[in-house]
Each structure stands twice: as C-alpha cells, then as structure tokens.
Amino acid sequence: MKLTVGLSDALRITRALRAQRVDLHCLPHGELQAPDPSPAKRWRARIIPLDSLYLQQHPCSEHPLEVLVDSEGKAPRAQFMHVSSLQSDLLPNGSFLKVNEEIWIPCPELLFVLMGALLPPADHLSLGLELCGEFSLDATRPTGGKTTFGVPQATTVTEISSFLRDSTRIHLWGMKQAKRLSALISDDAWSPMEASVAVPLSLGIEDCGYGLGPITLNKRIRNSSKFSGSRLSRVPDILFTGTHIGLNYDGAGHLPLEAVANAGINLGMNPGDSYRERELANATRAVRNKFLDDRHRDRELLASGLQVIPITSEDLYEPGGLDQVAKWAIGRIEAEGSRELGLQRAALGSPALTADRQELIWSLLPGPIGERARAKRRAQSAPGHARRSLPANVT
C-alpha cells in the first residue's frame, strides 16, 4: 500500500515524528506518490496502517483521511477518504517526505502553505513558529497534551521563503495567507507560551494583532559588562526586529516555588529530619539563585544597550494586560526613532479591536480560558466562508 496524506493528517504525523526527535531534514525527499492499495485489490478502511498514521481508529466517512493526488483521475473511490489534487509537477523538487514504505507527507514548507486553507491567521502563524521552533505540540491533543521541547527545527524561515519563491507557477490552497504571514515568522521559538506571546505582537491590526512584527526570538547577545555574576552572553526571549526593545517571558513555573513548598511540607511532617532539612535548604537556594540570575540578566541586557522588560502569564490572562505591554513597547520604539507606529497606537484605543484582540490572545493560551475562547472562535466560523471551519484537533 502507498498513500500521500495531507493537511491535518500530515500535521499529526509531523508532530509525532518531531516528538520522537526525528530530524525531518534527514528523511528521504521525493515527489507526490500515487495511491496504491496493493497487495489489496481495492481500498478498504481496514487496510489503512493506523500505526503509521498515528491514528487510534480507522477513518470513516465522518472522519475521513486526507489524501493528496496529482490528478483527479487517480483519486481513490472510498468514502473514508477526502481527496484533494495538486499539480505536483509544478512544485519544487522533493516537496514530499517518505515516512515509511507506505506513507508520504508534504514537506514542512508545503505543509505550512496548505494549512493556510484551514487555519485563521493567528493559528497559521503559530504553526509557522512551531515548525521553525524547537518544540512540538502533542500529535493528537495539541492544546492539552504533552509538548516536546528541544527538538530539531522542522524547517526555517529561509527554507519557507525559498519554497514560496520556487512555487510561483502553482496555485496552492493557503498560498496567499502563507506569503503574507511568512514575513512574520521567526526561527527558534523555544516554547508554546513564547509563541503565544509572539503571535499577537506580530500579527497585523487587520488580524486582531498589535502590528509590531516582525520580531526576533532568542537572539544571543554578547555581554561585555563586568558585573558580579555576569555571563558571556544573554538570550532575550523577544526583540522587536530593528530596535533595542524587547520582552522576557517569565511564566508561572519560572521560579521553582512549588519545590520550596513541597520541601517545607515534607520537613513539617518529619521535624528534625536532616535529609528533609537539606531538601528545604537546597530548594530555597535554587529559588534564590534563579532570582539572582534574572536580576543579573536584566542589568546585563540593559548594559548591552537593550530595554527588555519581563512579562508574566498574568499579562496574558488578565484583560488588557498585554495591551499595556504593547503600549510600553510602542512608546519605547517610537522614542528611539525606529518606527512610526501611529496606526498601532490608535488600534490600542479602539474598544471593538481591544475586545477582539483579547479573545484572540485567550484563544492561544492553555487552560479553561483558552478552551472557551477557541470554542467561541469555532462557533463564529461563518457557514460558506472560503476557509473551512477550524478543526478542534489541529491547534
């Protein structure tokens, strides 16, 4: 059997491979493979290899498998498949990856483009940051499952830009949005929360963003200061490209306070226990050392000529929290003469835009607030819109 699968099925496979720390650049590259059920004589759902597709159950008419072909004449006649055709001969060479002897998927660059037919701009840009970043969301539960960190990049900004330049002869679903958003993607996102901050800051005002993109993520800055505790370099999470202004995201788990609390409880239950006393002392010391390193980071970046302020999860979850951060950034960027941001400043003062922007921010976050915001966005997807309704298992 041989199949080329696409869209959300290909994204699931891509995430599953990255969670196994597979470098997609090392997989065999080739062309779109024609569907072939052999050795079976015809297509049946039971011959579909669930393990290769990272599926729990066989596809059906209600939950079809996304299949790609290069002509409608090669489309399998099976109700459990949703078949789309591509003029694959107009694509750049090697636009598909061989997962195994049975399954092929679009390369990450093509996958990013095609997903623009399914995803609204914020989720599309989030996907771009994930593919160009060093984390991968859970293959089957992207918003509630386990994130894998420190994985090889699936692609890069340069590779996506090159793919777009080499694909001008073919009309691809999602191409228009992919071209527009490609200028806002940044390499080296380290976590989903970092991406969740980057997306609204980068997106244009027309997409309910702040219009402050492009941004640069995790750029290593050489440090020449001689402060006590100085490091050779520091890495601010976010820099507004072409400026000296940036942000560091210090999330809820940034300081290991829970370890101190647990150690204190353990000692309370075992008073006088020397092991528990050392456990509490070590946990307390770890918090203190992290706090000191943060302060050292802040002053070393300042000494390097950067204005980088910390933001927290409360800035994202509290209504208007990120608006105030953006207002500060706009003021500092304009003060140093890097950009003229009159439209961005005006958008901050619009009640309608403020409400829509906050819903967008919430929809990018984990937890109950994020789930409610995502459900609201899906419910607001207008019937008959050119883009399909957002699948719940994609973002």
Both 28 and 144 in one domain: the answer is: yes
Residue 387 has pLDDT above 50, yes or no: no
Q: How confident is the model at residue 187, as a pLDDT? A: 97
Q: Looking at the domain assignment, is residue 36 inside a domain?
A: yes
Q: Looking at the domain assignment, is residue 25 inside a domain?
A: yes
Q: Looking at the domain assignment, is residue 392 inside a domain?
A: no
Residue 143 domain boundaries: 3-182
- Overall domain count for the chain: 2
pLDDT band, very low/low/confident/very high, at 392 (cuts 50, 70, 90): very low
Both 151 and 212 in one domain: the answer is: no
Q: Looking at the domain assignment, is residue 123 inside a domain?
A: yes
Both 369 and 241 in one domain: the answer is: yes
Both 163 and 299 in one domain: the answer is: no
Q: Looking at the domain assignment, is residue 394 inside a domain?
A: no
Both 252 and 160 in one domain: the answer is: no
Kindly report, residue by residue over 223-253, the tens digit of the pLDDT: 877 787 778 888 899 999 999 999 999 866 6
Q: What is the pTM of this model?
A: 0.88
pLDDT band, very low/low/confident/very high, at 185 (cuts 50, 70, 90): very high
| Last residue in a domain, options 182, 208, 238 | 182
Q: Looking at the domain assignment, is residue 389 inside a domain?
A: no
- Alpha-carbon gap, residue 238 to 248, rounded angstroms: 6
Kindly report, residue by residue over 308-317, the tens digit of the pLDDT: 999 998 999 9
Both 228 and 288 in one domain: the answer is: yes
Q: Looking at the domain assignment, is residue 82 inside a domain?
A: yes
In the predicted model, what is the mean pLDDT of residues 263-284?
85
Both 135 and 215 in one domain: the answer is: no
| Last residue in a domain, options 182, 202, 223 | 182
| Last residue in a domain, options 182, 208, 240 | 182
Kindly report, residue by residue over 146-155, the tens digit of the pLDDT: 999 999 999 9
Average confidence score pLDDT of the chain: 90
Both 114 and 252 in one domain: the answer is: no
Both 273 and 358 in one domain: the answer is: yes
Q: How confident is the model at residue 391, as a pLDDT? A: 42
Q: How confident is the model at residue 289, as a pLDDT? A: 73
Both 82 and 207 in one domain: the answer is: no
Comparing 279 with 341, the larger pLDDT belongs to: 341
- Alpha-carbon gap, residue 286 to 92, rounded angstroms: 51
| Both tokens assigned to 79 | 């109700």
Both 162 and 15 in one domain: the answer is: yes
Q: Looking at the domain assignment, is residue 393 inside a domain?
A: no
Residue 84 has pLDDT above 60, yes or no: yes
Both 78 and 164 in one domain: the answer is: yes
